[in-house]
Amino acid sequence: MASAAEQLAANLNFSAFSKADELKKRIWFTLGALIIYRLGTYIPMPGINPSALAEVFRQQSTGIIGLFNMFSGGAVGRMAIFALAIMPYISASIIVQLMTSVSPHLEALKKEGEQGRKVINQYTRYGTVALAAVQAYGIAVGLEGQANVVVDPGWFFRISTVITLTGGTMFLMWLGEQITQRGIGNGISLIIFAGIVAELPQAIAGTLELNRQGALSTGLIFAVIIMAVAVIAFIVYMERAQRRLLIQYPKRQISQNRMTGGESSHLPLKLNTAGVIPPIFASSLLLLPTTIANFSATGAAGGWLGMITTYLAHGRPLYMVLYVALILFFSFFYTAIVFNPTETADNLKKYGGFIPGIRPGERTAEYIDYVLTRITVVGAIYIAVVCVIPEILISWAAVPFYFGGTSLLIVVSVTMDTVAQVQGHLYAAQYEGLIKKARLRGKRR
């Protein structure tokens, strides 16, 4: 089966694109919104000494701050108004999803359909404000603890920082929703995508500079490029992979001479149901001790924090083992949260669907859970392999591999989703054109 990109390439032509006015408007709106986001990553937060901040960030860039800086498109390193980026919204969304499985109220809202989804989205927004305010206050206190970074420390700086960074996150959340409604693709994902890709030219320039200085050989750079292309192709293949369970619907007689039903469909189960959540959580947990130790006055020199930082450094065996273990754990944990086999089995039974050879109800739920567990094993191993390869390159060949496993997964997934949506709009435009032609022919007759 051809991928969305292959189908689009086969059906895309300039005449079809030129006639898709709605698609062009959506693309221009998306580009304009992303440009606004990128401009915001260069607007500095008030009360910061840029030179002192740059020095502090250089020392802390290997910890969790470096990870957030990648997702924010460099805004953390510049301490811009979008320094928190969209991460509080993602964290709030995950927390609400987790709470849905344990809270009867949220579970009831989830079953109410569109109206319940709106209420859950509102709770997510409230959670985003709370998380952003807490994180912004923590950033303000942390900056005050660094020498000469804050021009005028005190409550005024803390309050202004909380208002500025929280406001920036809420603006990006609103901007992402506008892109989803009026643009192309998922707005939140595109904002993260734009932040990651925007830093790519600088990373390429730094790699070429290392080659010029003799720190990296030309052959090694070409080998990394070839491997990156192979990994991207592997990600595309695995992200499209799914196990399709055959669903049969029985025939029903609705009149003396008319039968309905009897058709079959498929229940698709993705190989990677958890998406990019496992590597994000795993990276955050492993980098947290390093960040705390770097901010500590004595952590880097000695003590238990210094020992943990040494053993959890990039490329160390303990880091690799824990990284893989956490990715495997969060893959199963998050899959169990977002996919409920019992609910799926109940919906199939409600509409008369069944899996051939499996009794509807509890047996169907057990079978779906069995299949989902088996494919999640493969999906978790795939995510772990993709994420560990950059770590091996960093430790073995000293390659400044900018695109880690998490960023690669995000970039490829968002690209595939956006291409699929562009294809859908092109098909809709072509379909509307055929309907107009048919109507004109009918009027002429």
Would you write out the chain's pLDDT as a tens digit for each of its 445 residues?
A: 455 445 444 555 556 666 777 888 888 999 999 999 999 888 888 888 888 887 777 766 655 566 677 767 777 778 888 888 888 888 888 788 778 877 888 878 877 777 888 888 899 899 999 988 988 888 888 788 777 888 888 889 899 999 999 999 999 999 999 998 888 888 888 888 888 888 777 777 777 777 788 777 788 778 878 888 888 888 888 888 888 888 887 766 555 555 555 677 888 888 888 888 888 778 777 766 666 665 554 444 456 666 666 666 666 778 888 888 988 998 898 888 888 888 888 888 887 788 888 888 888 889 999 999 999 999 999 999 888 887 777 666 666 555 567 778 888 888 888 888 888 777 777 766 666 666 666 666 6
Token pair of 301, please? Answer: 């020199």
Return the pLDDT at 398: 60
Residues 6 or more apart whose CB falls under 8 angstroms from that of 426 comprise: 8, 11, 12, 16, 17, 20, 23
Three-state DSSP class for residue 98: helix
Measured over the CA atoms of residue 151, residue 154, residue 158 and residue 160, the dihedral's sign is negative
Residue 418: the pLDDT is: 86
* pLDDT given at position 170: 94
Predicted local confidence at residue 64, as pLDDT: 58
In whole angstroms, give the CA distance from residue 73 to residue 68. 9
Residue 142, classified by CB atoms within 10 Å of its CB into exposed (0-12), middle (13-18) or buried (19+), is middle
In Å, what is the CA distance from 62 to each residue of 11, 58, 69, 291, 410? 45, 8, 10, 8, 20
Predicted confidence at residue 255, as pLDDT, reads 57
Interaxial angle between packed helices 87-100 and 155-182, expressed in degrees from 0 to 180 and rounded to the nearest 10: 70
pLDDT of amino acid 203: 74
Query: CB pairs under 8 A, 24+ apart, for 266-270?
Result: 267/344, 267/348, 267/355, 267/368, 268/242, 268/243, 268/244, 269/242, 269/243, 269/244, 269/245, 269/368, 269/371, 269/372, 269/375, 270/241, 270/242, 270/379
pLDDT of residue 90: 82
User: Which amino acid, residue 226?
Assistant: I
Residue 304 is predicted with a pLDDT of 64
In angstroms, how far is the first alpha carbon of the chain from the final one? 41
State the Cα–Cα distance between residues 278 and 326, nearest whole angstrom: 7
Query: What local confidence, expressed as pLDDT, does residue 63 receive?
Result: 55
Length of the chain measured in residues: 445
The Cα–Cα gap between 171 and 272 comes to 31
Q: What is the pLDDT of residue 172?
A: 92
pTM over 0.85: no
Question: Would you say 185 and 421 are in contact if contact means Cβ atoms under 8 Å apart?
Answer: yes
The closest alpha carbon to 169, from 197, 135, 220, belongs to 135
Question: Mapping DSSP to helix (H, G, I), strand (E, B) and coil, where does residue 254 land?
Answer: strand
Q: What is the DSSP letter of 45?
A: P
Residue 434: predicted pLDDT: 61
Amino acid code (one letter) for 64: I
pLDDT at 209: 79
